[in-house]
Structure formats: structure tokens, C-alpha cells
Structure 1
Amino acid sequence: MSTAPIPPVPPDWREANRKMWDERVPIHAGSDFYDLDSFRAGKDALRPFEVAEVGEVTGRTLLHLQCHIGLDTLSWARHGAAQVVGLDFSEPAVETARSLAGELGLGPERAAFVAADVYDAAQAVPDSSYDIVYTGVGALNWLPDIDRWAETAASLVAPGGFLYLAEFHPLTDCLDDATGSRIVHDYFSREAWVDETPGTYADFDAATVHNRSVEWQHPVGSVVSALAAAGLRIEFLHEHDASLFARFPVLKRGSDDFYRYPQDRPRIPLMYSLKATRPA
């Protein structure tokens, strides 16, 4: 494990990221990528492996950290969770999620949404603990301190409950963008990655103004160790050879809508998932 000192965090990281996400909420809500019309009609936003690994949620409470516009959160309610709570630092995202919940006939007693920083979740959410604390893909890279995240998330897991995380594999951030075959970046780097690219993954051509973003790479070992140090027991760590989007041009879309390397290419993990429980 790297013992290099942690580089300084850009002082505007939170505000820059918030402005970036606030601006992209209406773009995402109107995009084919999120396809809210299909979601309203009943399409499940969750990935099949998440549903299988989390298991039965009927009658359980679930907290979704960094929920964006709430599609995954509301999908867990559709799967039978007694109450879901989504938390995100973007006010427009939370407003959109609340609106969607209302359209689906899910009142705040079934689906509540809170606007707050994830590090402040313990003080912001309505209950002190939940049967399931869930974090979906594309979340951890926006946080500079993975230990603080783990402590916060673990504190919200009820005795006998668990945290479930699905995330893009950090190894993919080490590879060259053109081929996805050469290691060109340091896997253990703690440097902030500052980007100014306009548009968004849901619409690359969207005209945007707030383009500065600040991200971090967190090795899988750091995530697992942080959760264990926070008092949770790791039940499993699964690595997946598929991605939700064409992270590299060489990836091919399969019949299941996941993207993978061609059969003549060696595979690497593109995503991972883990479950960590709190003893009863």
C-alpha cells in the first residue's frame, strides 16, 4: 500500500462539483440516457447483478447515498423496500427526484429525498440507521476522503444490516483512453484529477458553462480497508468484466446492454461490488 503523503485538496472541489452537477440535472432529466419516460412506465434502473446481490428488500429500510435524480432509489422502492431515502448534495437533483416520486405515487413516507453533503449524512437523514445503505456506480470518485465516507456510511447501517456498494473499477482509470490496454496512470495516485470538459456523459454535445470538476481515484483495497476499520464485516467483493458504458472504444455492447472487451482480448475488471455487514 502506498505511504506517500496525501496531496492538498483543491479548496473549491465541493463547490465546483456542485455547480457542475446542478447544471447537468435538467440535461440528464431530458436525455435518452436516463429515458425518464420509460422509467415512469416501469423500467428498472438497477443492474441485474445489484438486484441479485442485495437480495430481498421487501419491508426493509434503505438509504441511498449520492442518489443524483433518484432513479435507483425509486427502483428499490418498486422492488418492495418499506422506505427509501435518497441523499444528494445537488438541490436540483433532489427536487427532480421528489417530483419523480410524486409522479409514481410514492409519498415521503415511502420515498424521501434530502439535499445534503454525503459527509453530513448522519445529521441530515430522517433516521439514525437503515437496514441497507446503498451506494451506486459513479459516486466514490467525487470524494477526497474515503475513510471519512466509510465512517459516515457505516454509522448509518443498523445492527444486522449491511452496506452495498457497486462502483466502476479504479483499474480502468489507469489505462489509456484510446485502446484500454496500456497502463499510463498510477493506480495508487492520491492526486486530484481536475477536468474542464464541457458536456456530460448523458449528452456529450450539450452546451454547458460550469465544466470544472474535481475527482479522485480510490483503490479497491482502500475502500475495503476503510469499511473494515469502520466496524463492518466484508461479506464479499465481486469483480465484474462488464461496464455500463463504452469506457474504451474497443468495448462492445452485448445483448444485456453491458459493455465488454471483445472475446479475443484478455479481460480485466471494469466494475466491482461489495457487501459489508454490521453485526447484530
Structure 2
Amino acid sequence: MLTHKGPEDWRAANRAMWDERVPLHLASDYYDQDGFRRRRDVIRDFEVAEVGDVTGRTLLHLQCHIGQDTLSWVHRGAAHAVGLDFSEPAVEAARATAAELGIGPDRATFLAADVYDAAEAVAASATAPDTYDVVYTGIGSLCWLPDIRRWAETAASLIAPGGFLYLAEFHPLTDALDDESGSRIAHDYFSRDAWVDESPGTYTDFSAPTVNNRRVEWQHTLGDVVSALAATGLRLEFLHEHDMTMFQRFGSLERGDDGFYRLPAGRPRVPLMYSLKATRP
């Protein structure tokens, strides 16, 4: 089963949570907006190597949040990058950043829409291309979606012939491990239940006072993600599993010189992230 059930208010709750956190993220050291305005590039080295040269290509970034990754691909040569997110404050922030950098809507378009409605939003836009050489997404995105099959169908419908989907995401195995050490199975890897949490704060500042704290998430097994993409007719080019992650998911992780977090040397390794590329023939 690739569709999970959850509370009826999941979309409204998640949108309210993300809307409130946009200004917190814009002001945070984690996103470092001032630094981004100078560097204009936050794409991770492994993504650069796996996506390849985007010069002259069109790119669609699903669930783009405040647009830093989207604008980074423009900086790397994309002919036109489109960022889509369901949070209107996030999209407004992305548009403002683009304007500050002198990037017009002919190079970067930002759309406010639910990811499941991406095809309709693109079609209704006056500046967004209909299909894309690269559909890019991931790093904490899929957990907000209950229907992974519908996600795959939507993404696949927006890929131009010969184009591809690139996904970099946290490995679902990490959801099954204990939070303290990451060394034992503490949760059901195959759980289909929605995870509802009401903790205040955000990943850029866990102590931040926040009001809209209800959020609903789901976990998707690696098999479900790959099967959903395969069912659309896309051809899997690679599936890579990585021993590093973006943040201290477990108390035992150590940060390396490259900025990634890994298990201590000498401990058996497990995959903490994965990435894949699926091409439209």
C-alpha cells in the first residue's frame, strides 16, 4: 500500500506550521540568508555530481520552501528554474530573494501550490515551462505526503522526454532507529500510521516560541518510493545510499569537516540518506 491514512486536517495543520516558521528560517543561522546572497549556491557536492551540469536546462523544484536550492540551480546555469511550495509566505520570500539577486521571472518562477497540484499550477503559470529537463526534490520533503504514488505520478508527468527526476532524501531506516544512539531498532520500519506531533520550535531553533505546532508526517519505505516511480514508466538510473546526513539525527552522530554528520569511526555504518535518478525514456 503506497497511500497512507491520516487526520483530515493534515494539510491545513502542516501549512499553518510551515507558514509560521518561514520568518524564523529567514532569520536563522541555518539558512544564513546574508551568506546565501553572497554565495548564491547551497547545493551539496554529492547532488552536483549526481545531477550533473544543468546549463541551459529547465528545472522544477518541488516543495522548494524559501527557494535557496531553486535559485542555486539558476546560479549553476539552469535556463529556467521553477520552485513550487504550498506555503505562500515561503513562496513570497523566495520571490523577494530572487528580486534582490536580480533574477527575473524569465529565469526563476515561484508558484504557491500543493505538490499534488503541481501540474495544474505549472499549466496556469504565464512563465513556467510545461515540462522540465530536471525535476528536483527531496531532503525532508516526502515525509509530508501521505500518497507516494500520486506524488510519483505528478512528478513523472512534468518530466520532458529524455529528462529525469532527481531525489535526495533522508533514509527511511533512520525512522526505525532509536533517537539517542541510532544503534537499535526502536520503531516499525513498515508503519503506515501518520505521526502527529505538537512540539514547539523548529529545526533551525528548537527553543523558538511557536503557536502552530501540530504537524502530521508519514514514513515511506525505500521499496514504496522506488515502486511508485517504476509504476509511472520512469527508468531507474541509480539508487545510492549514503552514510552521512544533514543534521544530528541521533545523539551519537559526529559532524565532519565537510559539514555532514556520520556515526563514530569504528561503529558499523547504516544508510542515513539516499538519492536516486529516474529517467523518462
TM-score by length of 1: 0.97
Instruction: Give structure 2 stretches of 5+ with no counterpart.
Output: 123-127
CA–CA separation in structure 1 for the residues paired with 2:278 and 2:43:
19
Question: What do residues 107-145 of structure 1 show as CA deviations (whole Å, max 9, x unaligned)?
Answer: 000001000000000000133210000003000000000
Question: What do residues 53-76 of structure 1 show as CA deviations (whole Å, max 9, x unaligned)?
Answer: 000100000000000000000000
CA–CA separation in structure 1 for the residues paired with 2:138 and 2:151:
14
Q: Does the aligned pair in 2 maintain the 1:67–1:136 contact within 8 Å?
A: no
Show the 5 A alignment for 1:218-233: 218-233=220-235
CA–CA separation in structure 1 for the residues paired with 2:12 and 2:110:
20
Say yes or no: does 1:167 pair with 2:169. Answer: yes
Show the 5 A alignment for 1:101-180: 101-125=98-122, 126-180=128-182
Say yes or no: does 1:78 pair with 2:75. Answer: yes
Aligned equivalent of 1:25: 22
Give the partner amino acid of 2:212: H
Q: Does the aligned pair in 2 maintain the 1:175–1:184 contact within 8 Å?
A: yes
Q: Does the aligned pair in 2 maintain the 1:239–1:269 contact within 8 Å?
A: yes
CA–CA separation in structure 2 for the residues paired with 1:45 and 1:92:
21
Post-superposition, which runs of at least 4 consecutive aligned residues in structure 1 deviate over 4 A? Answer: none
CA–CA separation in structure 1 for the residues paired with 2:20 and 2:158:
30
Give the partner amino acid of 1:196: E
Aligned equivalent of 1:200: 202
Give the partner amino acid of 2:56: G
Q: Does the aligned pair in 1 maintain the 2:245–2:261 contact within 8 Å?
A: yes
Say yes or no: does 1:41 pair with 2:33. Answer: no
Aligned equivalent of 2:217: 215
Question: What do residues 25-67 of structure 1 show as CA deviations (whole Å, max 9, x unaligned)?
Answer: 0000000010011100015211100011000100000000000
Instruction: Give structure 1 stretches of 5+ with no counterpart.
Output: none
3-state SS of paired residue (2:39)? coil
CA–CA separation in structure 2 for the residues paired with 1:6 and 1:227:
14
Q: Does the aligned pair in 1 maintain the 2:3–2:149 contact within 8 Å?
A: no
Say yes or no: does 1:66 pair with 2:63. Answer: yes
Over 3 Å counting, the alpha-carbon distance change for 1:207 and 1:227 in structure 2 is same
Question: What do residues 72-125 of structure 1 show as CA deviations (whole Å, max 9, x unaligned)?
Answer: 000000000000000000000000000000111100000010000000000001
Question: What do residues 157-198 of structure 1 show as CA deviations (whole Å, max 9, x unaligned)?
Answer: 000000000000010010111111110111111100000010
Over 3 Å counting, the alpha-carbon distance change for 1:236 and 1:7 in structure 2 is closer
Give the partner amino acid of 1:109: D
3-state SS of paired residue (1:41)? helix
Say yes or no: does 1:88 pair with 2:72. Answer: no
Over 3 Å counting, the alpha-carbon distance change for 1:262 and 1:43 in structure 2 is farther
Say yes or no: does 1:97 pair with 2:94. Answer: yes
3-state SS of paired residue (1:194)? strand
Aligned equivalent of 2:272: 270
Over 3 Å counting, the alpha-carbon distance change for 1:49 and 1:210 in structure 2 is same
Q: Does the aligned pair in 1 maintain the 2:41–2:71 contact within 8 Å?
A: no
Identity %: 72
Deviates more, 1:173-182 or 1:5-14: 5-14
